[in-house]
Amino acid sequence: VAVIDVNRPVMEANQNLAAKNRRRFQAAGTKTLNLISSPGAGKTSLLEKTLQRLKGRLSCGVVEGDIQTSEDAERIASVGVKAVQIETMGACHLDAAMIERASQAFDLQKLDLLIIENVGNLVCPVDFDLGEDMKVAVLSLPEGDDKPSKYPLLFKEAGVLLINKIDLQPYLEVDLERIHKVVQQLNPGIKVFHTSCKTGQGLDDWAGWLLDWMGT
């Protein structure tokens, strides 16, 4: 019996386009991040806070991915950073072709850092390389301490994990030690920050680490 893997051609095409994006970004000297989390973990909030801290240090641009609406791009624009919205109209992740198109809106030669906020989803976005330099995972405390073991791939592939909404810890029965233990097992090299967009905890440390990573 011949079994046809219908996923393979799609993934190969994406991989080729991602490689093309990566070459274009590298040639222009633009570093890229792919921000991934469940819906509502705080990606856009973290972006707003991070971009405020990078102001005057780096020239940044943002690509926003959502199933519908341009609300997130408007939030980013209101902190004074150019943002392009992709509405996937049902697709649960961004792909390299979408990024190729959206990134045409930027003059990459003048851009130090392009941050891509993926569609809120802990699973599908991880499978689609966009041509980024690094994946940044966000896990918010209310999601529970079992998420890294139940959805391991993102935590394996990310260079950084932001454990967000840390201000809610007193109200939740979440075992933070368990999150750290599982994440370390999955990915010993990962850098982890505790962050809160409410209290500001961890945001200076994260932004400082990012500036170091950028080589500034």
Ligand X SMILES: Nc1nc2c(ncn2[C@@H]2O[C@H](COP(=O)(O)OP(=O)(O)OP(=O)(O)O)[C@@H](O)[C@H]2O)c(=O)[nH]1
Nearest to 80 by CA among 106, 53, 45, 51: 51
Please classify residue 172 by burial: count the beta carbons closer than 10 Å to its beta carbon, then call 0-12 exposed, 13-18 middle and 19+ buried.
middle
C-beta of 17 vs 118, nearer to ligand X: 118
**154-158: long-range contacts at Cβ-Cβ below 8 A with a sequence spacing of 24 or more?**
154/36, 154/122, 154/123, 154/125, 154/126, 155/182, 155/183, 155/186, 155/187, 155/190, 156/186, 156/187, 157/126, 157/187, 158/36, 158/134, 158/187, 158/190
- Token pair belonging to 96: 């390299």
| Least distance to ligand X, CB of residue 138, Å | 7
| Least distance to ligand X, CB of residue 50, Å | 11
The binder of 40, among ligand X, Mg ion, none, by C-beta within 5 to 8 A per type, is: ligand X
Please report whether residue 43 would count as binding Mg ion according to CB under 5 A: yes
Q: Is 181 helix (H, G, I), strand (E, B) or coil?
A: helix
C-beta of 17 vs 122, nearer to ligand X: 122
Q: Is 179 helix (H, G, I), strand (E, B) or coil?
A: helix
Residue of the chain from 81, 165, 187, 192 that contacts ligand X (CB under 6 A): 165
Considering only the stretches 38-46, 55-63, 77-85, 186-194, report the one whose residues sit in contact with ligand X under the rule CB under 6 A: 38-46
Distance CA 92, CA 127 (A): 11
| Least distance to Mg ion, CB of residue 137, Å | 14
Please report whether residue 45 would count as binding Mg ion according to CB under 5 A: no
The binder of 37, among Mg ion, ligand X, none, by C-beta within 5 to 8 A per type, is: ligand X
Please report whether residue 108 would count as binding ligand X according to CB under 6 A: no
C-beta of 44 vs 121, nearer to Mg ion: 44
Phi, psi of 5 (to 5 degrees): -85, 100
Residue of the chain from 65, 72, 129, 161 that contacts Mg ion (CB under 5 A): 72
Is residue 59 within 8 A of residue 112, CB to CB? The reply is yes
Distance CA 118, CA 184 (A): 24
Please report whether residue 34 would count as binding ligand X according to CB under 6 A: no
Please report whether residue 42 would count as binding ligand X according to CB under 6 A: yes
Residue of the chain from 98, 197, 207, 210 that contacts ligand X (CB under 6 A): 197
C-beta of 14 vs 164, nearer to ligand X: 164
Query: Interface residues with ligand X (CB under 6 A)?
Result: 37, 39-45, 72, 120, 164-165, 167-168, 196-198
